[in-house]
Structure 1
Amino acid sequence: MKLIKLLPILGLFILTSCSTVYVNTDYDKKANFADYKTYAYNKTSIDKAEISDLDKKRILYAIDDVMPSKGFTKSENPDVLISIFTKESERVNIYNNMGWGYGYGWGWGPYWGMNYSTTTTTPQGTLFIDIIDNKTKELVWQGSGSGYLTTNSDRKDERIAEFVTKILEKYPPVVKQ
């Protein structure tokens, strides 16, 4: 009975652990982030991103959704340029399990037992968002988010938006004085 009560909690834990995006950021401590109010995309670097054009659009749409909440407007003469790039890898999970079978044990002779393991792979990705000062052409902020990817096209918009939102939550940086 206790196991039945724990199953929904375990399921929720598994569901939320798979959707986590791990974020890291770095920035130029001499940059004045209060001066940045407009943005545009660095088309050259975005064209080089090794993902489908549809996923590029999803990322750019998600950035366009978040930037106004940060006080930014899109501009032909921007204060900053936004660049993206991605990395993808496979996470290998190995599960060792105990089961039934025949073998020999200590002191009492033969016993029944069996070991087996299963291996699964899960696609993981990292999205990098770079913010570049348009006047100096120098990188002033970089955020990256890593997590599990989905191949389900119905969930891609949601998952990419989650990556972008979590990364840009850290912009602008809180400058410690």
Structure 2
Amino acid sequence: MKTFLRPLLLLMSLLWIASACTTVNVDKSSRANFSKYKTFAWMDSDVQAGKNPVYYNEIATQNLENAVESTLAEKGYQRDENNPDMLIGYHFFVEQKERTVSDPTPLYGPYMGWGRWGWRGWGPAWYGWGGRQSRREKYEAGTVVLDIVDAKTRKLVWRGSVEKAVDNPTQISRQLERDVNKIVEKVPEEKSGK
């Protein structure tokens, strides 16, 4: 029995970890030339998290902006409010969504087995999965969008986004910081003649 449960628990753990992975979606203008961008400044951001102060608070906003600034600095960009090459903005919103969840239905024994040579007695003859049960559930989905706009033309040149279920609203600040870091990692590095 223990040898059966260990691989099953390992498989379920791996599936849970894989489902927790965040996918970053990136869209870049074909005309964008990131070699000319060296400095950035913030533009007004759009936060639509409803009236719930758990989702929208200044601490979460400050942490998000600090995470973006430190990762951009690691990539070689410098903040310059007076003469930026690009403007950074973000959108964050939480919305109610619905999804279909499929749960496996296990089969358990013991069952009386019947074999080619007669009765085999009691044993774990039918352990396994009997099928799936599907159900609909509502959840809160948080979406973070990071925009990079050319400061001269005022045109959007790069957008990265993450959508993820908000599992624990009290941890939204940490979740936002992790997700924004994953988005900013996809921003092309500043290429100067250094």
CA distance in structure 2 between the aligned counterparts of 1:118 and 1:157, rounded to whole angstroms = 30
Q: Does 1:53 align with 2:57?
A: yes
Distance 1:24 1:97, change over 3 A: closer
Q: Which residue of 1 aligns with 2:99?
A: 92
Q: CA deviation at 1:83?
A: 0.9
Q: Is residue 82 of structure 1 aligned with residue 114 of structure 2?
A: no
Q: Which amino acid aligns with 2:28?
A: Y
Gaps of 5+ in 2: 50-55, 107-132, 190-194
Aligned length: 153
CA distance in 2, matches of 1:158, 1:16: 19
Pick aligned residue for 1:15 from 11, 14, 17: 17
CA gap 1:156/1:98 in 2 versus in 1, 3 angstroms: closer
The letter of the residue matching 2:42 is Y
1:162 matched to 2:162 = no
The equivalent of 1:127 in structure 2 is: 144
Shift of 1:150: 3.3
Measured in 2, the distance between the counterparts of 1:118 and 1:69 equals 45
**Higher helix proportion (structure 1 or 2):** 1
Unaligned runs of 5+ in 1: 100-115
Q: CA-atom RMSD, angstroms?
A: 2.7
One-letter identity of the residue aligned with 1:40? A
Q: Secondary structure of 2:138's partner?
A: strand
Distance 1:71 1:96 in 2: 46
Q: Deviations over 1:45-75 (max 9, x none)?
A: x1x3213133322321221221111111111
Q: Aligned AA for 1:80?
A: M
Alignment TM-score, normalising by the size of structure 2? 0.67
- Structure 2 residue matching 1:49: 3-state secondary structure: strand
- Provide closer, same or farther for how the CA distance between residues 96 and 37 of structure 1 changes in structure 2, counting only shifts above 3 A: closer
1:67 maps to: 72
How far is 1:147 from its partner? 1.7
The answer to whether the 8 Å contact 1:126/1:147 transfers is yes
Q: Which has the larger radius of gyration?
A: 2
